[in-house]
Amino acid sequence: MNVRQAEQQHLDWIARSFGRPDYAPLGPADIEIIRSAGEIVSKYPGTHLFKEGSTASAAFLVESGEVELYRGTGGARRVVARVGSGSVLGDIAMFGDTPYVSSAKAVGPVRAFKFERSRLLPELHKHPAICLRWLVAGLRQLEETQRRVLSLMHKTVLAQVADLLVDESARRSEVALSQATIAALLGVSRQSVNEALRRLRESGAVSTGYRSIRILDVEKLRSIAAG
């Protein structure tokens, strides 16, 4: 496969996966505009798409891999989210011309589209279909965040951990999250996460290893998450 064919595969992925394809279909001309406005970047595990406080000169669309969003450094570092394919990162800060409010680090190998502000904004102004797809993608992420917040309200830590694992099970049967990361994502103590995982193991819903949780029974997890 040559470079042009590989690039076309990436663009085809945008056409069928980004935002809602049924809402604003992208034609060949739209895809060519996206190609001219962005570039493919690959990140190794542990490297960054961007860092908190730096100038938000670009937005990123994750094609494959997982990205950890966190704030602070050292002992004050706090994970705020873990996102995957189809996620848009850094666009709010980029559109607002403000610094990035968090850091985005590749958990494993990551491939993403990088859209420089100076190249993307003029195209969004001129092409409503592309602008609408971008808007829908952002609103979908916001809706997912709101749904997560509402679903966790008034739940026990056990139910919160089960709910998180149900969401993760949609992408894989083995979840590579440490207890510390789960605690940071849920805003609870690591000890309470450890206790919740113990009870989930005893129920037969999961098994655990070093920095990994294997989903054994999704339906049981859903029942526990429902409280």
pLDDT in tens, 205-219: 999 887 788 999 999
Whether residues 215 and 185 fall in one domain = yes
Residue ending a domain, among 128, 150, 172, is 150
Of 97, 126, 150, which residue sits at a domain end?
150
**Domain end point (choices 113, 135, 150):** 150
Residue of 92, 87, 213 lying closest to 162 (CA atoms): 213
- In the β-sheet with 206-209, what is the strand arrangement from edge to edge? 174-175, 212-215, 206-209
161 lies in the same domain as 133: no
Which 3 state secondary structure label does DSSP give 139?
A: helix
Picking from 89-103, 115-129, 131-145, 153-167, which range would have the lowest pLDDT averaged per residue? 131-145
Q: What is the bridge-based pairing of β-strands 58-64 and 67-71?
A: unpaired
Reduce the DSSP state of residue 212 to 3 states and report it.
strand
Q: How confident is the model at residue 4 (pLDDT cuts 50, 70, 90)?
A: low
Q: Are residues 40 and 126 located together in one domain of the fold?
A: yes
Same domain, 66 and 144: yes
Average pLDDT over residues 108-137: 88
Residue 188 has pLDDT above 70, yes or no: yes
In this model, does residue 120 exceed pLDDT 70?
Answer: yes
Q: Could you tell me the pTM of the whole model?
A: 0.69
Same domain, 42 and 120: yes
**Comparison of pLDDT for 177 and 58, the residue scoring more:** 58
Q: Mean pLDDT over residues 55-72, rounded?
A: 91
Comparing 139 with 75, the larger pLDDT belongs to: 139
Mean of the pLDDT values across residues 171-193?
81
Q: How many domains does the chain have?
A: 2
Burial classification of residue 9, based on how many CB atoms lie within 10 Å of its CB (0-12 exposed, 13-18 middle, 19 or more buried): exposed
| Same domain membership, residue 170 and residue 100 | no
Q: Which residue range(s) make up the domain with 33?
A: 3-150
Same domain membership, residue 55 and residue 18: yes
* Euclidean distance between CA atoms 30 and 123, whole angstroms: 10
Give the phi and the psi of residue 23 in degrees, each rounded to 5: -85, -40
* Lookup: tokens for 166: 């149900």
Regarding predicted confidence, which is higher, 1 or 158? 158
pLDDT at 184: 76
Residue 176: its pLDDT value, please? 77
**pLDDT band per the 50, 70, 90 thresholds, residue 6:** low
**What CATH code is carried by the domain that includes residue 93?**
2.60.120.10
The more confident residue out of 19 and 201 is: 201
List the CATH number of the domain containing 173: 1.10.10.10
SS3 call for 122: helix
Least confident of 1-5, 73-77, 175-179: 1-5
Q: What is the pLDDT of residue 21?
A: 65
Q: Distance (Å, rounded) from C-alpha 30 to C-alpha 193? A: 46
Mean predicted confidence (pLDDT) in 135-140: 80
For residue 56, the model assigns a pLDDT of: 95
Amino acid at 149: V
Burial 130-148 (b: 16+ CB within 10 A, else e): bebbbebbbeebeeeeeeb
Whether residue 188 is found in the same domain as residue 144: no
Q: Is 97 left (phi over 0), alpha (psi -120 to 50) or beta?
A: left
Q: 202 and 96, same structural domain?
A: no
Strands 206-209 and 212-215: antiparallel
**Is 164 found in the same domain as 125?**
no
In terms of domains, do 97 and 81 share one?
yes
Check whether residue 174 and residue 218 sit in a common domain: yes
Q: 89 or 22: which carries more pLDDT confidence? A: 89
